[in-house]
Structure 1
Amino acid sequence: MKIAVVTTVMRVVLGILFLAHGISKFQMGLDGVAGYFQSIGIPGFMAYIVSPIELVGGILLIVGLLTRYVSIVLIIILLGAIFTAKLSLGLLGNGQMAGYEMDLAYIMIALYLAVADRTRWSLDHLLFGRRASRH
């Protein structure tokens, strides 16, 4: 039972964080995000893919729908961010920009969610089965 509670809290918190990142990108304007992406060597069109994935992915994590798949997609986005934008800054950053330490933490949470049993406090459990965590 304790693990199910912790898993649910991890899922909801990670969802809130991704939702906030998605909202932030939309508030900045996707053209601005595309321009930033281009300035660091990422194709600008990726802003129009990453931003909605973060927004919708965050919502899906919060409600616990398609958790495994969303977690895997978010891991791919986070790895992309590390290897295209943050690796050269180092683990802790360069004093002006953050490094990739938070991305690693997010990856570890998402990886856990990708392999964890469904908890009863999710739409995945309600819609797709009663296979709740045994803990």
Structure 2
Amino acid sequence: MNAITLNTTATGRSGTNTTPYGVALLRIALGVMYLTHSLVLKVYTYGMDGTAKFFESIGLPGPLAYVVVALEVVGGILLLANVKVRWVAAALLPILLGATWTHAGNGWVFSAPNGGWEYPVFLIVASVAVMLADEKR
């Protein structure tokens, strides 16, 4: 019986498979995004008090801001360290869904007042892609 084989290299040609490099690049980009959005935006730019007040202004409990920032920092570090990638990406999805909900009324594009919802939706898709591609399971 003849076996059918599929060529799974990123180029479609025989040779080096570059797919793991692409997955690693996406994982690292997500880790950096979580760290910058938590530390640079929420901690250093707005301050934790300002971030908590923003959460309250949209109907969320202020202390939830501290939980979100902590999860983003730890999650970003774990993604960068390539530790439990699938679980980390899945655990951070509720934060991205919350960000999508927060910006839903602002329109699609980032240049809309208070930011649009395209960026968190893109990050959801990127997170799911990283989850699906993680070979360590």
What TM-score range do you get, normalising by the shorter chain?
Answer: 0.7 to 0.9
Moved over 4 A (4+): none
Which of 53, 75, 95 is equivalent to 1:77? 95
Does 2:113 match 1:96? yes
User: More displaced, 60-69 or 22-31?
Assistant: 22-31
Q: Which has the higher helix share?
A: 1
What is the distance in 2 between the residues matched to 1:12 and 1:93?
22
Q: Between Structure 1 and Structure 2, whose CA radius of gyration is higher?
A: 2
Cα distance, 1:12–1:94 mapped onto 2, change above 3 Å: closer
In the alignment, the residues of structure 1 paired with residue 104 and residue 22 of structure 2 have an alpha-carbon distance, to the nearest angstrom, of 30
- RCO (CA 8 Å, sep 6+): is it higher in 1 or 2? 1
Between the aligned partners of 1:44 and 1:107, the Cα distance in structure 2 is 24
Structure-2 separation of matches of 1:77 and 1:5: 26
Shift of 1:100: 0.8
- Counterpart CA distance in 1 for 2:32 and 2:106 is 26
Structure 2 unmatched runs, 5+: 1-16
Residue-pair matches, total: 119
Alignment of 1:16-95 (within 5 A): 16-24=32-40, 25-27=42-44, 28-83=46-101, 85-92=102-109, 95=112
| 2:85 maps to amino acid | T
2:48–2:66 Cα contact (<8 Å) kept: yes
Residue 15 (1) aligns with residue 38 (2): no
Match of 2:63, SS? helix
Question: Amino acid of the residue matched to residue 55 of structure 1?
Answer: V
1:31-87: CA deviation from partner (whole Å, max 9, x where unpaired): 22101111122221110110011111111111111111110122111001112x111
What CA RMSD, in Å, does the superposition of the two structures yield over aligned residues? 1.7
TM-score, length basis structure 1: 0.80
The percent of aligned pairs where both chains have the same amino acid is 34
Question: What aligned pairs does 1:114-125 form with structure 2 within 5 A after superposition?
Answer: 114-118=131-135, 125=136
C-alpha separation in 1, matches of 2:125 and 2:111:
23
